[in-house]
């Protein structure tokens, strides 16, 4: 091997290692800090479990919800949002990709505009909408676990997140549907399938990578969401708090911020995302091998 041939992969690795190392360094700090009383750079000035005590006792007093309740809230919200986003976008995208109907083009451009729309400007109108929804009996705020779909409920926050996520989801899914050959669909129709069965039995199994990608994306977006839960729930440590809000409780103006505790909660919030990603990345990367060898 010539020097030149050796140099190329070496440079490629260098270009990958340097930025990865910088990111890893941040995580390393987070890890060390969460188990230290104090740190000086990456050096711990004394190890302790105390920062993780939020796992078994509420750091803000007994009348605040425990971390487990908050985690359950976050999980419920993320799962609900992911489920609705995937279900609605895949159905909408199928129709947009495959069917002819009046207003199809304008619907498509509208979703694109919505995707680009600055969501912050909508916070106040949505606040009033949610307040109004709260007044509806049962659905408003009487559902167990979810709270409901109104203001200061997990369901309400999930609903708003769904609305913001849908345009993106529809576009992603439409791209995947567009890539499936018409012949396969026509063949299924001739074989005797209804439109719904074509969607569910033929199309959906063939866009698994798309479903996986959108699920991961939605789940992580919801898990990390801050602005929308903050706006539409009352109180940072209330009954409907999610992890990102819980984390904010540690940072206040009146008391010295306990950075070590922040690091511990931050790490705690990170763990499920990492696990979720480990399980789903395979589906994301393994672009499903189609049965079209020799086909067009």
Binding site for other proteins (CB under 8 A): 181, 183-184, 186-194, 197, 202, 205-206, 288-296
Contact 244, 226 (CB under 8 A): yes
In this complex, which beta carbon is closest to other proteins, that of residue 38 or of residue 292? Answer: 292
Report the nearest approach of other proteins to the CB of residue 109 (Å). 20
Report the nearest approach of other proteins to the CB of residue 86 (Å). 18
In this complex, which beta carbon is closest to other proteins, that of residue 128 or of residue 288? Answer: 288
Report the nearest approach of other proteins to the CB of residue 88 (Å). 23
In this complex, which beta carbon is closest to other proteins, that of residue 91 or of residue 184? Answer: 184
In this complex, which beta carbon is closest to other proteins, that of residue 151 or of residue 176? Answer: 176
Report the nearest approach of other proteins to the CB of residue 274 (Å). 29
Q: Which of 248, 245, 221 is nearest to 234 (CA)?
A: 245
In this complex, which beta carbon is closest to other proteins, that of residue 43 or of residue 293? Answer: 293
Report the nearest approach of other proteins to the CB of residue 218 (Å). 23
Contact 146, 80 (CB under 8 A): yes
The phi and psi torsions of 291 (rounded to 5 degrees) equal -95, 40
In this complex, which beta carbon is closest to other proteins, that of residue 181 or of residue 257? Answer: 181
Report the nearest approach of other proteins to the CB of residue 33 (Å). 47
Report the nearest approach of other proteins to the CB of residue 106 (Å). 18
In this complex, which beta carbon is closest to other proteins, that of residue 202 or of residue 284? Answer: 202
């Amino acid at each position: 091997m010539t020097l030149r041939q050796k140099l190329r992969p070496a440079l490629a690795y260098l270009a990958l290692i340097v930025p990865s190392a910088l990111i890893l360094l941040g995580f390393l700090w987070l890890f060390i800090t969460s188990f230290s009383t104090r740190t000086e750079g990456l050096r711990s000035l004394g190890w302790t479990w105390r920062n993780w005590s939020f796992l078994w006792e509420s750091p803000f007093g007994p009348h605040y919800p425990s971390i487990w309740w908050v985690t359950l809230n976050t999980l419920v919200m993320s799962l609900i949002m992911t489920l609705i986003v995937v279900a609605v976008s895949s159905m909408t995208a199928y129709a947009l990709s495959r069917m002819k109907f009046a207003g199809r083009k304008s619907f498509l451009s509208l979703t694109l505009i919505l995707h680009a729309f600055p969501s912050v400007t909508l916070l106040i109108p949505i606040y009033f909408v949610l307040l109004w929804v709260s007044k509806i009996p049962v659905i408003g705020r009487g559902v167990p676990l979810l709270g409901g779909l109104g203001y200061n409920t997990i369901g309400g926050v999930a609903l708003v997140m769904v609305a913001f996520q849908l345009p993106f989801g529809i576009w992603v899914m439409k791209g995947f549907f567009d890539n499936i050959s018409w012949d396969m669909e026509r063949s299924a129709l001739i074989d005797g399938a209804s439109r719904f069965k074509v969607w569910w039995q033929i199309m959906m199994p063939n866009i698994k990578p798309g479903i996986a990608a959108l699920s991961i994306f939605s789940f992580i977006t919801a898990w990390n969401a801050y602005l929308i839960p903050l706006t539409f729930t009352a109180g940072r440590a209330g009954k409907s708090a999610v992890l990102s809000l819980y984390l904010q409780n540690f940072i206040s103006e009146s008391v010295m911020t306990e950075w070590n505790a922040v690091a511990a909660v931050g790490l705690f919030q990170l763990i499920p995302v990492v696990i979720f990603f480990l399980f789903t990345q395979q589906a994301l990367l393994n672009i499903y091998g189609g049965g079209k060898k020799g086909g067009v």
